Amino acid sequence: MPVSGLEQLFSDSLDRLGGFEPAPRLAVALSGGADSLALMLLAQDWARRRGGTAIGLTVDHRLRSESADEARQIAAWLAARDIPHRILVWQGEKPQAGLQAAARAERYRLLEEYCAAAGVLHLLLAHHAEDQAETLALRQEAGSGPSGLAGMAAIVERPFCRLLRPLLTFPRQELRHYLREAGQPWIEDPSNRDARFARVRVRQALAGDPARQAALLADAARYGQQRREQDRAVARLLARAVLAQGDHHDDLDITLDRILLTDAPPEVGRQALVRCLMHVGGQPYAPRLARLDRLWRKLCTGPLARQATLGGCLLRPVSRGGQDKIRLVRETARSRVEPLEGHGILPHLNSSRLRLGLPDAGAIYPYPATHPLAGADFAVAEPALSVIS
């Protein structure tokens, strides 16, 4: 079967992300909208041509009365194309406040838990060029720094799978044209037109200003390159400065060489410290800038004189053996963490990662649910054209 122009562009985009088995197994986060359905068809075609498979995963948040019917419609569309599909349901009570953030967190939890249980290493997300421009515009309004202005990343290393966004340079209209050519209908989410949401207002503004959208995408590419370079520097520093790391539920800690940490360029050393704080403290976000600045200045002036706290962590000076070290442990009040489901898949994950020259996942992602230490919202290394043999 001949490959269309869009299919070839998609194949090139996914190949650049690298690190696939000879018979790849992909999962696609599938809402039923045009973007995710186009991704599903493109991914299944790409996988089949390589002797692999792709499965669609639809999360039913049970927030709208029609969501169950929509999920069943998606399943029927995929069944007609002989594409496997699973519906993942958000069970239990829904929060009254912060519902969108909670729904997003639950969606990723359900998707990643499925991948962990099924041993699928690659979870594809359908964010496209307009999504990237909207994200950057929102982050500019929020006063984000260079790292945030890099926008969404094409690769996100998670404990048991990689999140891949191969459509970040693809315009929305090209994806919809592809579906029309394939005779594939899609579901329109009414919330995508609800101007109460900031992202919808930004989307409507950018739709009439293609020059600004192009400028935002160029900014994302430039800042993204800077972020990748900084991330590689942070990863190299962590490899030297982390002297010890506990990886058990009752002994989650990191010991750092203070001198190596503070002798690094400030933007690298500070980010390495943030990674350690988020990893041990289990917090989803970096500490507030003012508090981080105070701690960083204290560390740069000399050995830590007494215990400090930040980001759910206790930082304790360690002076045994004449070395200038700092030990990070989780504060007692925050010591309970829920275990990640599917941890038994680690041997399979590690076998695949090590063949790619990637770090042992057990060393980076301990069993308790913590923020990754060397991972981040982008790739640590440049994507490589490599396969798992």
Report pLDDT for 228.
Answer: 83
Of 126, 130, 152, the C-alpha closest to 139 is 152
Closest to 26 (Cα-Cα) out of 41, 10, 51, 47: 47
Strand 325-330's sheet: what is its strand order?
242-248, 251-257, 325-330, 313-318, 308-310
By C-alpha distance, which of 57, 44, 45, 50 is closest to 20?
50
Instruction: Using a cut of 0.85, tell me whether the model's pTM lies above it.
Output: no
Report the pLDDT value the prediction gives residue 369, as an integer from 0 to 100: 40
CA gap 129, 133 in Å, rounded:
6
Query: What CA–CA distance (Å, rounded) separates 266 from 34?
Result: 44
What does the pLDDT read at residue 365? 40
pLDDT less than 70: residues of the chain: 1-3, 190-195, 247-251, 320-322, 333-389
pLDDT of the residue at 191: 67
- End-to-end, the C-alpha distance of the chain in Å comes to 27
User: What is the gyration radius of the CA atoms in the chain, in angstroms?
Assistant: 22
pLDDT at 96: 81
Per-residue pLDDT of 227-242, as tens digits, reads: 888 888 998 999 899 9
d(CA 152, CA 377): 8
pLDDT tens column, 363-381: 444 333 445 555 443 333 3
